[in-house]
Amino acid sequence: MTTTDTNPWPGIESRTILVTGATGFIGARLVRRLSEMRCTVIAMVRRTSNRTALAGIPGLRFTVADLDTGEGVPAAVAGVDTVVHLAGQVKARRPSAFRRGNTDSTGRLVAAIADTDPVPRLVLCSSLAAAGPSRPGRPRDESTPVAPVSEYGRSKLAAEEIARAAGVPTVVLRPTIVYGPGDHDFLPSFLPMARLGTHLRPARPEREYSFVHVDDLCAALIAAVVRGETLPPDGGDAGVYLISDGQVYGWSDFCRQLATAIGRPRPRFIPVPGPLVQATGWLCDLSPVRRGPVLTMNRDRAHEIRQLAWTCATDRAQADLGFTPAYRLPDGLANAVAWYRSQGLLP
């Protein structure tokens, strides 16, 4: 399975698939891909959602619902074969917002699915943060005991457990860092440094990371619509799939690859001591600003940054889902940069 296949799953065109978080970075990309496969695709949106990213998608239907309150959710899931759940909270001013936006909202969705007859299949896009960091030189696999280190990660793990406890047939994908066309958060936060030729990095030792291109994640999500085990009710790691490009990169490798992608020379690095990273997170949390965009940096994020490795193996996804990533980091970054330039976001 690669992202260049038009329809690697014969019969998927007969399915009716509801996508939450459809207007987001991953959601908009996934909805377009499903539409190309001639599925019946329904985008769950709020009344106030900006639908620009979904403009012009043939046959796309919309349903208005609010996972924060539960309004319209039962009607949204009625009559669908599969729900792909992407909506969630990735940035927050307070830890409690992660539980509201990831755990509680998933609970409302799962409750509505459980009350539907027949019960749809749920493909839950979680996060590597729900499992926790890995050890340097030892990428995490699905059997590694979970140990989330952030409120974000704990809220995503709790969402998984809600689906398990409800008995809803659920496939869980835990992607690592996602990047690619349409990303307005991760890569854009590093592009100014890449253009200047100077990058911040945590003080030694070198941090290790796995990455996944958005199109590869979408391919894995689509595979999970028709393949893969579901969560057993009595625990265990079956039904859970880690998603990355299968490689391990040092943080310096990522910065150098990004510089190459935008046509800049080899960057210089400024090491940042761990205590300073943590102090910056605390200061961001203490900021009196309560309006405007939510800051990416906070105590939660600082604690994640200080971990030595966020890497994962993809053997199970390859075996069960047929997942073979089309992009390694150099080609994936070049693809993303080409998109930023096409949008006038890079010279």
pLDDT tens-digit series, residues 88-143: 999 877 778 999 999 999 999 999 999 999 999 999 999 999 999 999 999 999 99
pLDDT tens-digit series, residues 276-306: 445 454 455 555 554 545 446 566 676 677 7
Q: Average of pLDDT values for 25-51?
A: 96
297 versus 208: which is more confidently predicted? 208
Q: Please tell me the distance from the alpha carbon of residue 169 to that of residue 226, in angstroms, as a whole number.
A: 12
* Mean pLDDT taken over the chain: 90
Give the DSSP letter string of 259-306.
HHHTT-PPPEEEEE-HHHHHHHHHHHHH----SSSPPS-SHHHHHHHT
Q: Is the pLDDT of residue 273 over 70?
A: no
CATH 3.40.50.720 is held by the domain 12-182+211-248+311-328: yes
Q: Residue 96 gets which letter from DSSP?
A: H
Give the residue extent of every domain in the chain. 12-182+211-248+311-328
The position carrying tokens 């066309």 is 181
Query: Is the Cβ–Cβ distance between 76 and 47 less than 8 Å?
Result: no
